[in-house]
Every structure is written in structure tokens, then in C-alpha cells.
Chains A and B, each alone.
Chain A
Amino acid sequence: MTKKNKVKTSQTRGEDIQPSVHIDITRKRFRIGDFLAEKIIKGVAFLSITIIVLIFFFVFREAFPIFNTSKEIIKPATEQAKADTQETYGAVTDGDSKVKPNEINGAVSDTSAKKDVQETYGDVTDKQENPEQNGVQKANSSAITAKSTSTYTVSAGSGTDDNQSALKTMLSKEWVPVSEKPRYGILALIIGTFKITLISLLFAAPLAILAALYTAEFANKRMKEIIKPTIELLAGFPSVVIGFFALMVLATFLQNVFHYSTRLNSFVGGIAMGIAAIPIIFTITEDALTAVPRSFNEASLALGASKWQTAFFVILPAATPGIFAAILLGIGRVFGETMIALMATGNAALMDLNPFESVRTLAATIGAEMAEVVFGDTHYNVLFLIGSLLFVFTFVLNAIAEFYVKGKLMKRIQGK
């Protein structure tokens, strides 16, 4: 790396040889290796920030045309979109051809050759037992969507009309994106997502927090060495495996216990997502609990409080901000969970607060429909809009957990 130094270390040196060798220290040497290394390392370190900015930008960029109700069409429709039939793409296998424009405009893309797209949306219908349950969604999947052939020109704005009507339907109750009159009632999805988040937290948070309390305050070393790796193991479970477990085993089991009619519903999905959220909540809670200074503990015990009283009335309150952060991040995890939602919730976009009805979450909607949509059309933009929502939501959750909670925690532990 550095150029050869002219130090005469090379000369043989016995006991009698003077070590005084002149090294020039008065001029700063330019070391190209160090210089480059530092620059590169600094540059790469900014990558994480760059990625976040890029995610912001590109996810929003693809969502943006939905708000574009003015008459700006980027390219005249001279190119014929190539009808490229994909057989391996997505879930539809029964030979229906999909048309994908190769236009890459951020704005409304050119779909002059757009023709009827028949889609069976890749939803998880419960094929084994009660296929009739997914009413709305069934209707979806059998719907033949006749997208009118529209040629965009500089002034024509059928696409923007689409967008306008899409915006209007956003707050409606129905999510029927593939229909003659597509309705993008995101509200139904949002409510479904919150419903399932609530269920999973009601299941996971008490379990994880109590287990963390046990691990931090009561468990002996041996138990700790069992619990912690188990949690790490659970954290390593791919969500598709948890989803599979929920779909194959948990759903049947819970149905037998609770005797509800829809096998796949927000309850099953919520429990499964709760399982996925346990490691996050547990780990952060346990960290927060162990971060409470031992002096708190000793002081309390010295005052005659018992171990459990100390744990519940001294340690737990002191760690509340951390536990709050744990729950926030647990919410983030459940909120964005895709595979479990796809596999275990039934996926019908029903506006219903009954936990034993099917539900469709925001993330699952993206996961199920993105592979099927025509790039660049309104449905595609709406899915990206949902993505933007998810992103902003988790970003804000994380920011709150990071700044607000940490600040509080430090204050509390260090005593204002």
C-alpha cells in the first residue's frame, strides 16, 4: 500500500550499530492507498442512507401518476407495446396471456396494445373446505376485465381520467381493482391491516413481554441459555414457513377449537403473525429490562420488596419506553408482513370487524396483485401507493421508537 519507505531497517544491526536513521517527518506523505481506502469506505458507508432515499424516491415515483390528474402525457403513443406473453411470471398458469407494455415512463405508460386481461388473482382461497367464503374476492377473480384500448396522445387523457376516478374510489369500501369500474377502496385494506395487527399484538405482546421479564429477572443461567437461542431460532424462521404452518396446521386446529366457519381468517393470520413478531418484541424488551441499572434492583430489594415486586413495580416501569419501542417495532413487523398474510388470512377485502372473517392486508394486496398487473396502469400505481403508505408508516414507527423512546429511556434510567 504505502510506497517503500527509505528506512534503513534493512541494514543488519548488531548491538553496536547506531539505530539513528533519519526519517523525514516534516513533510506529510501522500499515501494513495490510505487515501483511496478512506474515500471508498466513506462513500460506501453512505450507501445505507442512499438506499433509503432511493426507496423513498422510486416507490413514490411509481405511485405518483395516480395523483397526476393534469394533462401531461409524457410520450406520444407511437410505439406499439409489445405483447409479451409470460408463462412463468406470477401465479397464473392456465395459459392466459398477459400484456405488458415495455414503456418505462414514470408517468402513465403507453398501452396501445393493451387488451383484455383475464386474471385469476393469486389469492389464497381455502380450497379444501369452504371455497364459497371468499365472496368478494371470488367475484374478483372470476371477473373478466375488459380494459378499453386506450391510446395516449399528448393531449388525450383517458389515463388521467382513470386516475381521477381511482382517486375518488380510494375511500370507498370496496377493493375491486380488476373490473370494468375498478374501485380502489384502500380503506378496506387499511382497516383489515389494523384489525390483524391488533389481533397479533394482543397475542404476541403479553407473551413476549412476560417471557422477557422471566428471562431478565427470574430465569437462572441455564434457562436463559435455552430461551435465548430458541428466540433467535424463531427469529430465523422464514415467514413463508410460519405461513405454511398456519395454513396447514394452525388453521385447522383453531377452527376445531373455536368452531368458526371461515377456516382462514384474521384470527389465524393474526396468531401466525404474532408468532413472527414475538422475537422482535422479546429481544427489545429484554434489552430494555437488562439495561435498567442493577442499583434499582438492589435498592428495591433492600427496602424489603420481594423479587417479583421489584420486577413488576421497579424494573418493568423503568423499562416502559423500551417496551413501548418493542411494541412499535412489533407493529411494524406485522404491518408489513406479506407471506403470512397471503397464506393464512383468506385474503378477502371485507370491511368487517369480526376476527373470524377473512381479511386482506395492505402488504398482501401488493404481494398478490403486483405480479398480475399491467405495468404502468392505474392499478399498478395504486399498489405502489399502498407500498408508499406502508413504507411511510414503518419509517415513522421506527423513527418514533428510535428517537422519542430512546431519549425517554435514557432520561429515566439516568434519572432526568
Chain B
Amino acid sequence: MILDKIDTKNMFLYYSGKMALNNISIQIPEKKVTAFIGPSGCGKSTFLRSLNRMNDLIDGVKIEGKVMIDSINIYDKNIDVVNLRKKVGMVFQKSNPFAKSIYENIAYGPKINGINNKHQLDEIVETALKNAAIWDEVKDRLGDSALGLSGGQQQRLCIARTLAVNPEIVLMDEPASALDPLSTAKIEELIVQLKELYTIVIVTHNMQQAARISDNTAFFYLGELIEYDKTRKIFTNPDKKQTEDYITGRFG
């Protein structure tokens, strides 16, 4: 059976009093790739960021309703946000490696979790880099600065860095939007592999990408969740007219 890893109920998000997300209820299954699509400004990224409470960093954001992860409302008073983010990792639109070596970038997460054993760290770094399909490219220069990598490599490094913390859910905010087609293909391939291990939620403005890699697709428009279904259904036979317009490109 498919477990609902993430389950939001009547969730509203206000940005400085203005409604940015309107009554979002969605169930995201475990170990699947779920894609959020929609025109820019539709709230898909905002919604994604509220799944690991990255919106907390922005002043004036208020959230109502429930966001359940493993049946726990992550907006409860007692929630430990730091641990939540270990459980729900995030890859950002723009690759953002630290100005440290490749090795140190990956080891950063484990180290802040208190792992200092060199042998153990080596292992984690190798596994993470392998899982992110970048090991072969960097294994001989782990000590080099991560800033020397190409854009696509940097992004995979960032994915590896996220995996090294061992999250259960990986949120990806348009991870390939700034990359060339070749790098994009690599990332997509990687995402499909990763869903064996992780629940993946990806925001993309690229509909082909959503169609290629996701199991389920949610269409957002103007802060509302218009339609959410199996990807194939969304792309072949959407229920809503707005969805169809967007998919077919008849949309402003």
C-alpha cells in the first residue's frame, strides 16, 4: 500500500497579511516523485518551502491549517525545526555549495550532527556522492574547492550534500532550471533513481520534466491547488480546464 508521507489539510499561507496559498490539501505518497507545476508566482515554491519550514526565515509569513509529515503536524508548537530539516532535506534552485572543499561540503551535515570519526565521514561522503551520481567525477579531487565545479556538478554536489544528512524527504526547488540540457538530463536520471530511497517533491516550471520523472503532478495556479493526480492523467486527460490550458501552452 502507498503511505501518505506528507498530508496537508486546509493550509493557508499569508505573506504580510496577503494570502499566498489558499486552502491547500494534498496527500503526497512515500517514495514517489511528486511534481508541482504552474506558472511562476503560483505559490508552488512557497508551498514547497513550507514543507520544511524554510518560510520561517522570511518575516511576515503566517501559516494556518495543518501540514502533516508522518502524521505529525510540523507547525505544532513543540516541533523541533532543526530536526525537521534533517528529516526533510532541500535542494535549491541555484546551486549553493559552501566555499569549502568538495569533501567538506558533504561532510558538513554529518559533522553538525556530531559525527567526527574520519573513517565514518569518509564512508558517508562516498555514499552520498555515489548516490548523487557524481562520485566518479570528483573522487580524485575531494579536497578541491566545490566552487571549481561546473554548474551541473555543483547542483549534484548539493543533492549529495542533502543526502548525506540522510533525510526521508527531499524537496527540490527547480533544481535544473539553471542548467544546460545535458546536466538536466543527469539530474533527472538521478531523481528517478533516488525515489527508491526517498520521497521526492520537485517544483518545476518545465512540464516535460514533470511528465518525464514524476509519478504524481499537482497543478498550482494563483495560490490554489487546481488539480492533483497521477502524472499521466494530468498530462493526458486533466479534469480542469485551467490545467489543460496550461499543459497545452494556451496559457499566459
Chain A interface (Cβ < 8 Å from any Cβ of B): 2-5, 7-10, 12-15, 18-21, 23-29, 31
Contacts A2-B114, A23-B86 given; does A12 touch B78 at CB 8 Å: no
Q: How far is the CA of A4 from the CA of B120 in the complex (A)?
A: 14
Q: Does B131 contact A (CB under 8 A)?
A: yes
B residues in contact with A19, CB < 8 Å? 163, 166-168, 197-198
B83 near A24: Cβ-Cβ < 8 Å:
yes
Minimum CB–CB distance for A24 against chain B, Å:
7
Closest 4 CB pairs of A and B: A4-B114, A5-B113, A9-B166, A25-B84
The minimal Cβ–Cβ distance linking B57 to chain A, given in whole angstroms, is 15
Q: Select from chain A the residue with minimum beta-carbon distance to B120.
A: A10
- A415 to B84 Cα, complex, angstroms: 46
B76 to A, closest residue via Cβ: A26
Bound Cα distance from A116 to B124, whole angstroms:
81
Q: Which residues of A contact B163 (CB under 8 A)?
A: 19
- Closest Cβ of chain A to B197, distance in Å, is 5
Contact partner, A12, options B82, B109, B123, B131, Cβ 8 Å? B123
- Given known A-B contacts A12-B127, A13-B127, A25 and B72 have beta carbons under 8 A apart: yes
CA–CA, A8 to B113, complex, Å? Answer: 10
- Contact residue range for chain B? 20 to 34
Q: Interface code B132-155, partner A: CB below 8 Å = 1, 0 otherwise? A: 000000000000000000000000
User: CA–CA, A259 to B86, complex, Å?
Assistant: 79
A-B contact pairs, 15 of them (CB 8 A): A2-B113, A5-B114, A9-B110, A9-B113, A9-B164, A9-B166, A10-B120, A19-B168, A20-B168, A25-B69, A25-B74, A25-B84, A25-B87, A26-B78, A29-B80
> Which B residues lie within 8 Å of A27 (CB)?
78, 80
Name B157-209 residues within 8 Å CB distance of A.
163-168, 196-198
Contact A28 B80 (CB under 8 A): yes
Closest Cβ–Cβ distance, residue B245 to chain A (whole Å): 37
Q: How far, in Å, is B15 (CB) from chain A's closest CB?
A: 22
Q: List the A residue with the shortest CB-CB distance to B79.
A: A25
- Residue B115 at the A interface, CB < 8 A? yes
> In whole angstroms, what is the CA distance A45 to B82 when docked?
25
B197 / chain A contacts, CB cutoff of 8 Å: 15, 18-19
- Which one of A7, A15, A21, A25 contacts B131 once the chains associate, using CB atoms below 8 Å? A15
Complex contact B80–A9 (CB within 8 A): no
B196: A residues at CB distance < 8 A = 15
Binding site secondary structure of chain A: loop
Within 8 A of A (CB), among B105-134: 109-110, 112-115, 117, 120, 123-124, 127, 130-131
Chain B residue with Cβ nearest A7: B113
B165 in complex: contacting residue of A9, A24, A26, CB < 8 Å:
A9
A residues within 8 A CB of B164?
A: 9
Chain B residues positioned under 8 Å from A4 (CB to CB): 113-114
Q: How far is the CA of A9 from the CA of B123 in the complex (A)?
A: 10
Asked if B124 and A9 make an inter-chain contact with CB atoms under 8 angstroms apart, the answer reads yes
Residues in B whose Cβ lies below 8 Å from that of A3: 114
User: B74 to chain A: closest CB distance in Å?
Assistant: 7
Of all chain A residues, the one with the shortest Cβ separation from B113 is: A5
Which residue of chain A has the shortest Cβ distance to B197 in the bound complex?
A19
When chains A and B are docked, how far (Å) is the Cα of A26 from the Cα of B84? Answer: 9
Most chain B CB inside 10 Å of its own CB: which residue of A3, A21, A28, A29: A28
Could you tell me if B82 and A31 are in contact, using CB atoms closer than 8 angstroms? Answer: yes
Query: With a CB–CB cut-off of 8 A, which chain A residues contact B76?
Result: 26
Contact B78 A28 (CB under 8 A): yes
B115 and A10 contact, CB distance less than 8 A: yes
With A18-B197, A19-B168 as given contacts, are A26 and B79 in contact (CB-CB < 8 Å)? yes
- Expressed in whole angstroms, the Cα–Cα distance for A25 and B163 within the complex equals 18
Is the pair A9, B87 in contact by a Cβ cutoff of 8 Å? Answer: no
Q: Chain B 61-96 against A: per-residue CB contact (8 Å), 1 yes, 0 no? A: 000000001001010101110111011000000000
A64 to B76, CA, bound (A): 56
Contacts of A15 in B (CB 8 A): 130-131, 196-197
CB-defined contacts of A13 to chain B, threshold 8 Å: 124, 127, 166
Does B87 lie within 8 Å of A23, measured CB to CB?
A: yes
B contact residues around A21 at 8 Å (CB): 166, 168
Residues of chain A contacted by B82 (CB below 8 angstroms): 2, 29, 31
Residues of A contacting B84 in the complex (Cβ-Cβ under 8 angstroms)? 25
CA distance A99 to B69 in the complex (A): 78
* A9 vs B76: C-alpha distance when bound (angstroms): 26
Instruction: Report chain A residues within 8 Å CB of B117.
Output: 10
In the complex, residue of chain B having the shortest beta-carbon distance to the beta carbon of A10 = B120
Residues of B within 8 A of A20 (CB): 168
Instruction: With both chains docked as a complex, state the minimum distance between the C-beta of A187 and any C-beta of chain B, in angstroms.
Output: 52
A21 CA / B164 CA spacing, docked (Å)? 13
Question: What 18 additional pairs, Cβ within 8 angstroms, besides A9-B124, A26-B80?
Answer: A3-B114, A5-B114, A7-B86, A7-B165, A7-B166, A8-B166, A9-B113, A9-B165, A9-B166, A12-B123, A14-B127, A19-B166, A25-B83, A26-B76, A26-B78, A27-B80, A28-B78, A28-B80
Given the contacts A18-B197, A19-B168, A20-B168, A25 and B80 also touching, CB distance less than 8 Å:
yes
- Beta-carbon nearest neighbor of B77 in chain A: A28
Residues of A within 8 A of B109 (CB): 9
From B79, B114, B115, B130, A28 is in contact (CB under 8 Å) with B79
Alpha-carbon distance between A25 and B79 when the two chains are bound, in angstroms: 6
